[in-house]
């Protein structure tokens, strides 16, 4: 018997519960920096050392936190379902919790890539990237993160997965950041839909969604228990 397919669209909220700082503060700054200074191709051209330092600090922080009950619950679903995680997060908490199919829409903090060949990726395992660190072609390495103004290379793959969902779980995202937020509308009309977030997005059409106004770490274990029970 073919397993049902659960697609999870996750955002910053689920990782914030593990202690990962969200990029954008209430004042619009990202850890004290303007977006334009640390997260655009122009910033990289203007001051690569500042950009590298910004992401190096975030990468170091990643290894000071652990997956929370929300991440662990999603991984547990794989015992009864096929599970595809489409995440807007650049951390590796889903993988560390045990999820095996994770699509990183905005890149991965713990990978570096060549600036002349985007297919050349290098695991960092928590190490910093420094000026002078190059690929075998002699090109400076940069964070493997999608900056503002850059294409989202995994978008087509993510859309194809969302279009085959039997169950869609949207968790920890405000659904403001496009194109990723558009994935919530890609699931088939027959798919069951769940939206988990303490603050439900007023701008989003939640018709057809079962809305759970709680944090991921509290709501997901209960929802997963229900879904596993249904699967037998």
Catalytic status, residue 33:
no
Q: What is the CATH number of the domain that holds 28?
A: 3.30.1600.10
Q: What is the pLDDT of residues 119-166, one digit of tens each?
A: 999 999 999 999 999 999 999 999 999 998 999 999 999 999 999 999
pLDDT for 29 equals 47
Phi-psi group of 208: left, alpha or beta (phi > 0 → left; psi -120 to 50 → alpha; rest → beta)? left
Share of the chain above pLDDT 70, in %: 91
Q: Name the range with the highest mean pLDDT among 35-39, 62-66, 101-105.
A: 101-105
Domains in the chain, number: 2
CATH number of the structural domain spanning residue 164: 3.40.50.1220
Q: Are residues 131 and 204 in the same domain?
A: no
Domain of 40 in residue numbering reads as 21-64+108-145
79 touches 228 (CB < 8 A):
yes
Cβ atoms of 121 and 14 closer than 8 Å: no
Q: What is the pTM of this model?
A: 0.92
Asked if residue 194 lies in contact with residue 34, where contact means CB atoms within 8 angstroms, the answer is no
Q: Are residues 39 and 101 in the same domain?
A: no
Instruction: Say yes or no: 75 and 99 in one domain.
Output: yes
Which entry of 5, 71, 94, 106 is annotated as an active-site residue?
106
* Tens digit of each residue's pLDDT (9 = 90 or more) over 27-36: 444 567 787 8
Parallel/antiparallel/unpaired status of strands 121-123 and 5-10: unpaired
Checking if the pLDDT of 9 tops 90, the result is yes
208 vs 167: CA distance, rounded Å: 12
């Amino acid at each position: 018997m073919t397993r049902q397919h659960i697609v999870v669209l996750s955002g910053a909220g689920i990782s914030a519960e593990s202690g990962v700082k969200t990029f954008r503060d209430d004042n619009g700054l990202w850890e004290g920096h303007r977006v334009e200074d640390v997260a655009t191709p122009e910033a990289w051209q203007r001051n690569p050392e500042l950009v590298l330092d910004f992401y190096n600090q975030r990468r170091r922080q990643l290894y000071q936190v652990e997956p929370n009950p929300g991440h662990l619950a999603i991984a547990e679903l794989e015992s009864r379902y096929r599970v595809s995680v489409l995440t807007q997060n650049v951390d590796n908490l889903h993988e560390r919790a045990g999820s095996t199919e994770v699509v990183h829409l905005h890149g991965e903090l713990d990978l570096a890539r060549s600036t002349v060949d985007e297919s050349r990726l290098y695991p960092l395992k928590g190490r910093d990237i420094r000026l002078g660190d190059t690929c075998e072609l002699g090109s400076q390495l940069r964070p493997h993160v999608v900056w503002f103004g850059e294409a989202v290379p995994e978008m087509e793959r993510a859309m194809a997965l969302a279009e085959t969902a039997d169950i869609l779980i949207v968790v920890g995202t405000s659904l403001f950041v496009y194109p990723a937020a558009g994935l919530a509308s890609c699931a088939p009309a027959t798919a069951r839909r769940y939206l988990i977030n303490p603050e439900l997005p007023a701008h989003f059409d939640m018709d057809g969604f079962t809305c759970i106004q709680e944090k991921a770490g509290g709501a997901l274990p209960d929802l997963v228990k229900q879904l596993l029970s249904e699967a037998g």
